[in-house]
Amino acid sequence: MKSSADDTNALEEALKHVFRDHALLDQALTHASYARELESQHSAGGLPAREFDNEQMEFLGDAVLSFVISQELFRRFPDYQEGELSKLRAHIVSARRLLRPARELKIGDYLRLGRGEERSGGRNKSALLVNALEAIIAALFLDAGLDAAHRFILRDILEPELAEVHQHGSEKLPVMDYKSALQEAIHASGRPQARYVMVKEEGPDHRKMFTMEAHIPASPAGEGAFVCRSEGSTKKAAEQGAARLAWERLQLSEDRSADDRHAAGAKSSEPS
């Protein structure tokens, strides 16, 4: 496993940042399975120890990422309404979009995983890669402040995503109608049509808030049904929010399926 300062030299070069505190980078790359496994070994040997994983750092990195993206979009798109800015930010920070920089940095090569997670192909799992990327953002922030995290987010996440958006001939997000995008994804998966349900309406007439749910049926392949909920100042906005969450979940599910197929293919190609 690549976990020492020497082993992460290539990653630091890709990040364009040399860590003063390498323990921060190590923690950002440590999955809970590895931490618990190491704790168990220490306890068995009579040496109680606490090994930190990257879950808390993921929480902080997600907040730093959201702040930096929000700040930059606010500055760059002064004519956008709140809803447009929110949709663009959601697109950029979605798990599906964060997979690109995570894979480009080859984060999977550096993850510290428990034996079970290693055997199950954890180095290629979308969720683990994205979580580690967010934890690395937190490590940059803790090691060198907001400016270091800001530079990385702009260079490796925001600028490439905006360049892709611009290629569509507009500065606006390609996927603006999430209900339509969700319906296309549902149709492709063979699921029945989504159903939208209003579960709450509250507030005075001039400041109504609506809560809508998108109910996604199970697929013929056995993928389970699920429900996504969102709030909005109009029914339409709440529906779009719920549809966006459901659409992102379906996209991530597709990526995980691709990861599983990749891992199965790699396993079947191993010499017996």
Residue in 118, 142, 125, 122 with CA at minimum distance from that of residue 24: 142
Q: Distance of CA 165 to CAs 2, 36, 173, Å?
A: 35, 41, 6
Position 5 confidence tier, pLDDT thresholds 50, 70, 90? very low
Structural domains in the chain plus CATH codes: 9-166 (1.10.1520.10), 178-268 (3.30.160.20)
Which pLDDT belongs to residue 72? 93
Residue 214, φ and ψ in degrees, nearest 5: -105, 115
Catalytic residue list contains 231: no
Show the tokens assigned to 157.
Answer: 């996440």
Task: Give the C-alpha separation, 231 to 142, whole Å.
Answer: 33
Q: Which is catalytic among the residues 26, 53, 62, 255?
A: 62
Catalytic residue list contains 143: no
pLDDT tens digits, 167-211: 654 444 444 568 887 888 898 888 999 999 999 999 888 888 999
80 or 175, which is more confident: 80
Which pLDDT belongs to residue 7? 82
pLDDT tens digits, 28-48: 999 988 888 877 765 554 444
Q: Which is catalytic among the residues 58, 134, 143, 248?
A: 134
